[in-house]
Structure 1
Amino acid sequence: MAPTQGVKTITTNVGWSVLSKTATFGLKFVTVPILARLLTPEDFGSVAVALTVVQFLAMIGGAGLTSALIVDRDGGMDTVHTVFWSNLAMAVAMALILFFGAEGIGTWMGAAQSANLLKIMAFLIPLQLTADVAYSLLARQMNFSKDAILSTVSETSAALLALALAFAGFGVWALVVQLFAAALIRLVGLFSITRYMPRFVIKPDRMMPLLRYSSGLMGSEMANFVTFQAPMVVIARVLTLADAGAYSAANRFASIPNQVVLSAVMGVLFPAFSMMGDDRKRRSDALIFSTQVMTVILAPAMFGLWAVAEPAMLILFGPQWAYAWPVLGLLALSKAIVTPCSTFIPYLKGTGHSQVLFWSAVLRAIATTIGIGGAAYYGNLVDAMVALCVVNAITLVGYSWAVFRVDGIPFWWGMLTSSRSMITSLIMGVAVRLFLHAFADQLTSPYLQLFAGAVVGGVIYAVLFFATERALVRKVLGMVKRRRGGAAADAPAA
């Protein structure tokens, strides 16, 4: 029987995951702008297009089996071994398809010059899929502290290596080596930590329960993949590879807050929700609380980046990228709009609502592709980013309605509770934009603009936060007090 996960266990694992992402945040904050100054938009576009293909084939090859392993806690090691060999076989098949079809795939993606990159990056697929099996063993144990350390080491080492190669003049290959280094270190580390040694055991009957679960997830994962990768493909095909590079560089930077917080939390919440069983009240409380916390953390960061996008782009990326500041700002705005949805996917996955997850993801993927495709075809890159913001606003309402209906939460109460910090962050962002416009004659330096915008935004958001989120603050402080009290009670007497 799966162990019951309390708030203490979940918050501890979230803390480790966030610590891991935060440890690499500072380095990525520096490395992405440096790489952007050393490389060209075409370099970023070529690697981004190739990586999109690799990730798609890896997702198909994995078939969601490792996610099923996390939920299927009653399966023995024979099941794990069977999944390992299945993943490896599919990974090799996907890699061969990509290697021999690289030229045709690159041409279809609108980046024919990336064929050689595709052939080399095909070997990333086996590295990713075999490592995922070992990761599932850590996730089943909710042992995220070791994964946090490993992630920090792999991402940091790979980023430093990429910087060294970029300075040495290796160009686009610096980005390629970064991907391989991170994947290889992660693979070796996970197998060392879990001490997992694959045995040649293949029992197809053990796969059937996993396939029943994973098949429900595969469709939604493919749709989510289309949602997040469609902009890159559409921009490369309809516009230019340089536009795809500008989108890629801006998206890399705008995604850093999500990488720090959201990716860490989602990895913990998925198994945590799956362990709560049929206790709907605990699930509802965990859903609302985690959504509130994620919105409080992410919304001000994203709306703040939108507000200071123009000076930030010039300072961080340099003059050659200055033209793309509206892209950075609109990408930050699009991500800010859907911050209340940050916990919805792990909630639906963990509670077994695969049909709701599937249809929500499919509708979002269709809307994203059509919206960005139409805007890019009849306009330009900025128009495509505006369309993405509109689609994400619709997504917020649609996703919220679907999840709150599943959980029995009143829609308007749930929307207000989960989106309150997003609204205050929007007010803060608009105020900062107006402030920078009003004092444009005095703030002539982009450094002054960035500093002043950050200070003014911080003060405004702090005032609005404590005026609207006092109940959440009291709840968090109460949890901290209870946790400290429990730790004191467990401590041995002197």
Structure 2
Amino acid sequence: MPTVVNAKSVTRNVGWSVLSKTSTFGLKFVTVPILARILSPEEFGAVAVALTIVQFMAMIAGAGLASALIVQRDEDMQTIHSVFWANLAISCLMALGLFVWAEPVATLLGASDAAYLVRILSLLVPLQLGGDVAYALLARRMQFSKDAFWNMISESAGALAAVLLALAGLGVWALVAQIFLSALIRIAGLFAVSRYVPGFSFSMRKVLGMTRFSLGMMGSEIANFVSFQSPMVIISRFLGLADAGAYSAANRFSSIPNQVVLSAVMGVLFPAFGSMMQDRARRSNALMLSTQVTTVLLAPMMFGLWAIAEPAMMTLFGHQWAYAWPVLGLLALSKGILTPCSTFIPYLKGIGRGGTLFWWAILRAAVTTVAVAYGAYQGSLVEAMVWLCIVNGLVLVGYSYVVFRADGTPFWRGFLLSCRPMFTALVMALVVRLLLVHFGALVPNAALQVVAGALIGGFVYGALLLVTERRLLRRLLELARKPAAVAAAEPAE
């Protein structure tokens, strides 16, 4: 790897990435409810189904080649140019195929009315993959501050444009404009800060030489994508676009904490774990520390949202979405259950366990799809979300076993340490939920119930954290105070 990686550099880059996500958090926190109040559930559902198809095609077209670039020892320009042209050619063919076959694909997913959106959004496939090589170069160099800046600009501009266009009465086109504007600004920024200029050079031999790693990554990414996106397809197919829209709106809002923390952390940890591949002690220490920290940050957000889901849905989304508050709560609960797994994918990718990641991802995708389909087949969106929570509980245990076995850490020790902040957050959420059930009538305003629940939850969680995670908090304090030179020289515990 071209950049020296240590606890200080990882912490700094995670900080930059989290800062970029946090800067757009407030904007998304406002824009998603605004759009939900202006647009109908059917409009949300149509865009969500079309975008799911496009994202799946973009994942296949990329074939994991950019991920393979990140872990290459040297920056060989012929290899880099070859990956760029291969990505572009494959993505253009995928986009053309999707454009031509948009109607039968949309019909297959129970969203024939969204075929025109599939055609339009097919243009996103080459647009999204066009910047993959530039991003891979930034990731290799651990220059996440530059990516963070352009991510903030692109997401903010897209969100603002969507709100303005929705207010102007453009309906579903507001969401389409948001997607394209964000993608265009991001790709322009990535090329500018990476200083990458595609050269007219191509070597099929070098592209094929990377496929052993890239195809394994692509397979696991596709399986993970199916795990995350299959509920949308199933709901659209069995329950219709209105329920798909309710799921999409609730999912977009409940995913904001994940977008703030996980998308930032995972991008940094993949190259970081890759640099520690041969040093088991360092990578094991980094795995446990990063898992505990992400769980400490994410678990209270997700379980807290479950606790206040009913007044939050009423306050943020309005009366037309009030019926969907159990969906918001159950989605938050299902994501909260998986918070200890946040670092597992970049860990397995970074240490070269693509086969393990692939087979586990396949199993997870199959079980998730079957369980949600069973719940939807019973005729209830809420029941489908209940089954999603049950599956995620099983995934937590199974995923932890797979990762800690690969790491050589005793299962119960690793599982309890990584999950302890999650259990603490669950206790906090139960306290808030019980207080709202028994005393919520004393605060008749839904917005005030949200504020009261958040304040009480923050106080309870903070107090519990001081009792249960003193050692972790001391470790983070030491890292914050330690000079970079010392952090680079000091061996991991």
Quick one: structure 1 residues 451 and 86, their matched pair in 2 at CA, closer, same or farther if it must change by over 3 Å? Answer: same
TM-score by length of 2: 0.97
Determine if contact 2:239/2:379 at 8 Å carries over to the other structure.
no
Map of 1:49 onto structure 2? 49
Determine if contact 1:79/1:206 at 8 Å carries over to the other structure.
yes
Offset, 1:112: 0.4
Alignment of 1:415-494 (within 5 A): 415-483=415-483
Map of 1:26 onto structure 2? 26
Determine if contact 1:315/1:447 at 8 Å carries over to the other structure.
yes
User: Over residues 113-168 of structure 1, what are the superposed CA-to-partner deviations in whole Å (9 max), with x where a residue is unaligned?
Assistant: 11111111110011011111111111111100110000000110111111110010
Offset, 1:483: 2.9
Determine if contact 2:2/2:141 at 8 Å carries over to the other structure.
no
Determine if contact 1:3/1:275 at 8 Å carries over to the other structure.
no
Offset, 1:20: 0.4
Distance (Å, rounded) in 2 between the aligned partners of 1:484 and 1:80: 31
Which residue identity does 1:90 align to in structure 2?
I
Specify the SS of the correspondent of 1:440.
helix
Confirm whether residue 217 of structure 1 aligns to residue 236 of structure 2.
Answer: no
Which residue identity does 2:348 align to in structure 1?
L
> Quick check: 3-12 or 77-86, which moved more?
3-12
> Quick check: 103-112 or 73-82, which moved more?
73-82
Map of 1:131 onto structure 2? 131
Distance (Å, rounded) in 2 between the aligned partners of 1:483 and 1:49: 48
Confirm whether residue 359 of structure 1 aligns to residue 365 of structure 2.
Answer: no
Map of 2:251 onto structure 1? 251
Q: Percent identity?
A: 61
Map of 1:347 onto structure 2? 347
Which residue identity does 1:479 align to in structure 2?
L
Determine if contact 2:257/2:301 at 8 Å carries over to the other structure.
yes
Distance (Å, rounded) in 2 between the aligned partners of 1:277 and 1:400: 19
Offset, 1:3: 4.0
Which residue identity does 1:448 align to in structure 2?
L
Distance (Å, rounded) in 1 between the aligned partners of 2:23 and 2:473: 25
Offset, 1:102: 0.7
Offset, 1:199: 1.5
Distance (Å, rounded) in 2 between the aligned partners of 1:206 and 1:219: 20
Quick one: structure 1 residues 105 and 486, their matched pair in 2 at CA, closer, same or farther if it must change by over 3 Å? Answer: same
Which residue identity does 1:6 align to in structure 2?
N
Alignment of 1:171-210 (within 5 A): 171-210=171-210
Determine if contact 1:106/1:112 at 8 Å carries over to the other structure.
yes
> Quick check: 264-273 or 471-480, which moved more?
471-480
Determine if contact 1:84/1:198 at 8 Å carries over to the other structure.
yes
Offset, 1:200: 1.7
Distance (Å, rounded) in 2 between the aligned partners of 1:80 and 1:422: 41
Distance (Å, rounded) in 1 between the aligned partners of 2:276 and 2:283: 7
Distance (Å, rounded) in 2 between the aligned partners of 1:486 and 1:386: 48
Distance (Å, rounded) in 1 between the aligned partners of 2:300 and 2:182: 30
Specify the SS of the correspondent of 2:385.
helix
Offset, 1:477: 1.1
Map of 1:40 onto structure 2? 40
Which residue identity does 1:317 align to in structure 2?
F
Offset, 1:75: 4.6
User: Over residues 3-32 of structure 1, what are the superposed CA-to-partner deviations in whole Å (9 max), with x where a residue is unaligned?
Assistant: 431111111100100000001000000000
Map of 1:389 onto structure 2? 389
Confirm whether residue 85 of structure 1 aligns to residue 85 of structure 2.
Answer: yes
Distance (Å, rounded) in 2 between the aligned partners of 1:126 and 1:441: 53
Offset, 1:2: 4.4
Alignment of 1:233-382 (within 5 A): 233-382=233-382
Specify the SS of the correspondent of 2:409.
coil
Map of 1:95 onto structure 2? 95
Determine if contact 1:340/1:422 at 8 Å carries over to the other structure.
yes
Offset, 1:484: 7.8
Which residue identity does 1:413 align to in structure 2?
R
User: Over residues 153-192 of structure 1, what are the superposed CA-to-partner deviations in whole Å (9 max), with x where a residue is unaligned?
Assistant: 0110111111110010000000001000011111111111
Determine if contact 2:2/2:140 at 8 Å carries over to the other structure.
no
TM-score by length of 1: 0.97
Specify the SS of the correspondent of 2:181.
helix
Map of 2:491 onto structure 1? none
Distance (Å, rounded) in 1 between the aligned partners of 2:449 and 2:183: 39
User: Over residues 99-119 of structure 1, what are the superposed CA-to-partner deviations in whole Å (9 max), with x where a residue is unaligned?
Assistant: 010110110111101111111
Offset, 1:399: 0.2
Offset, 1:463: 1.3
Offset, 1:209: 2.5
Confirm whether residue 70 of structure 1 aligns to residue 70 of structure 2.
Answer: yes
Distance (Å, rounded) in 1 between the aligned partners of 2:7 and 2:242: 46
Offset, 1:486: 5.8
Which residue identity does 2:169 align to in structure 1?
G
Specify the SS of the correspondent of 2:233.
helix
Offset, 1:440: 3.0
- Over the aligned positions, Cα root-mean-square deviation in angstroms equals 1.2
Distance (Å, rounded) in 2 between the aligned partners of 1:176 and 1:336: 30
Q: Where does the alignment leave 5 or more consecutive residues of structure 2 unmatched?
A: 488-493
Determine if contact 1:72/1:210 at 8 Å carries over to the other structure.
no
Distance (Å, rounded) in 2 between the aligned partners of 1:323 and 1:73: 53
> Quick check: 467-476 or 187-196, which moved more?
187-196
Quick one: structure 1 residues 199 and 459, their matched pair in 2 at CA, closer, same or farther if it must change by over 3 Å? Answer: same
Q: Where does the alignment leave 5 or more consecutive residues of structure 1 unmatched?
A: 488-494
User: Over residues 252-290 of structure 1, what are the superposed CA-to-partner deviations in whole Å (9 max), with x where a residue is unaligned?
Assistant: 000000000110000000011001131000000000000
Map of 1:226 onto structure 2? 226
Map of 2:155 onto structure 1? 155
Distance (Å, rounded) in 2 between the aligned partners of 1:485 and 1:53: 47
Determine if contact 1:2/1:275 at 8 Å carries over to the other structure.
no
Corresponding pairs, count? 487
Offset, 1:456: 1.6
Which residue identity does 1:139 align to in structure 2?
A
Offset, 1:82: 0.6
Determine if contact 1:13/1:143 at 8 Å carries over to the other structure.
yes
Distance (Å, rounded) in 2 between the aligned partners of 1:483 and 1:303: 35
Please list every run of at least 4 consecutive aligned residues from structure 1 whose deviation after the TM superposition is greater than 6 angstroms: none
User: Over residues 448-473 of structure 1, what are the superposed CA-to-partner deviations in whole Å (9 max), with x where a residue is unaligned?
Assistant: 21122112211211111111000001
Specify the SS of the correspondent of 2:358.
helix
Specify the SS of the correspondent of 1:441.
helix
Distance (Å, rounded) in 1 between the aligned partners of 2:104 and 2:133: 31
Which residue identity does 1:310 align to in structure 2?
E
Specify the SS of the correspondent of 2:444.
coil
